[in-house]
Amino acid sequence: MSDKLRWVIPVPLIIFLAASWIFVRTENEVRVQVGRAEKQWRAENYREAVTLYESVYQNYPKSQYADDVLWEVGTMYYVNFYDVDRALISFHKLVTQYPDSPLAAESYLKLAQIHEAELGGLPKAIACWNQLLSLDISRETLRQARFNIGNAHFKLNQFEKALGEFQVLMNDGQAGEVTDQARARAGTIMQIQTRYEKSVEYFTEVLEETNCSDCRRTARLGLIESYEFLGQLPKAIEVAQTIPTSEFPVQTKDDLLKRLVEKARYYDPGGQ
């Protein structure tokens, strides 16, 4: 083997070692700067902390810490400065530039929360939740996101789209509060569509199966209203009588019963 060949063979190894050394040195520098930012955050010097975090992303966008610092920046702008525009920018950079990050799912949730709660942008919130559904997330997170999508369509009066999402949740074989909420919402949609008998089915199922107090309250009120529309006032009264004081004050319950009884006597004087 020639002397020249002996020198050529180690070159790839030399390049690899040099690159590894540069990578380790860079990551150490990043780690130090992240540590400084965390120290400022713990001292509640949020402006200094966010500046340090932003410089890490700007100077080392390929670092293993880049997605973490974008998360911290977005969270601080949202929580500590209530600057939703800059928070949106940071979370959006995270999901688009680091789609495989473990923080991508949480970032989509934050984006959806900001669009829904802060900006009233339900269509954009729906888009974020739909992106979340394509990620590797827990069943609980997936089901909650699907309910949120259905609920946003409900608020937009897009009842068929909402019902489609709720039907998926009701038919996937999973019990729990999200299923009960979906069933209660479906009952309300049936009322809006004047399908009162179907709404009674949904609300009855909620009362039979749920431990969710809000769901039970919604279902009870929904049943009373549907029975009224169906002219079945004795059944409406029967449901009203079962309302526990934990759901309604005694006076509210008494007023409701009084109204229902008087209405029943008016339409059927001999029946009440």
Number of domains in the chain: 3
Per-residue model confidence (pLDDT) at position 5:
47
| Structural domain includes residue 189 | yes
Per-residue model confidence (pLDDT) at position 26:
59
User: pLDDT, tens digit, for every residue of 142-180?
Assistant: 999 999 999 999 999 999 999 999 999 999 999 899 999
Do 138 and 207 sit in the same domain of this protein?
A: yes
Do 161 and 247 sit in the same domain of this protein?
A: no
**pLDDT surpassing 50 at residue 14:** no
Do 165 and 186 sit in the same domain of this protein?
A: yes
Per-residue model confidence (pLDDT) at position 209:
86
Do 142 and 122 sit in the same domain of this protein?
A: yes
| Structural domain includes residue 221 | yes
Per-residue model confidence (pLDDT) at position 245:
86
- Rounded CA gap, 111 and 117, in Å? 10
Do 268 and 160 sit in the same domain of this protein?
A: no
Per-residue model confidence (pLDDT) at position 169:
97
**pLDDT surpassing 50 at residue 198:** yes
| Structural domain includes residue 206 | yes
Do 144 and 206 sit in the same domain of this protein?
A: yes
| Structural domain includes residue 2 | no
| Structural domain includes residue 95 | no
pLDDT classification of 23: cutoffs 50, 70, 90: very low
DSSP letter at 65 equals T
| Structural domain includes residue 128 | yes
| Structural domain includes residue 249 | yes
Do 154 and 112 sit in the same domain of this protein?
A: yes
Do 217 and 142 sit in the same domain of this protein?
A: yes
Domain residues for the domain of 46 are 34-59+74-81
| Structural domain includes residue 216 | yes
Instruction: Supply the pTM of this predicted model.
Output: 0.85
Do 218 and 268 sit in the same domain of this protein?
A: no
**pLDDT surpassing 80 at residue 272:** no
Do 118 and 170 sit in the same domain of this protein?
A: yes
Do 126 and 220 sit in the same domain of this protein?
A: yes
> Which of residues 81, 114, 137 is at a domain's end?
81
DSSP letter at 118 equals I
- Residue bearing tokens 């040099």: 18
Do 159 and 121 sit in the same domain of this protein?
A: yes
**pLDDT surpassing 50 at residue 17:** no
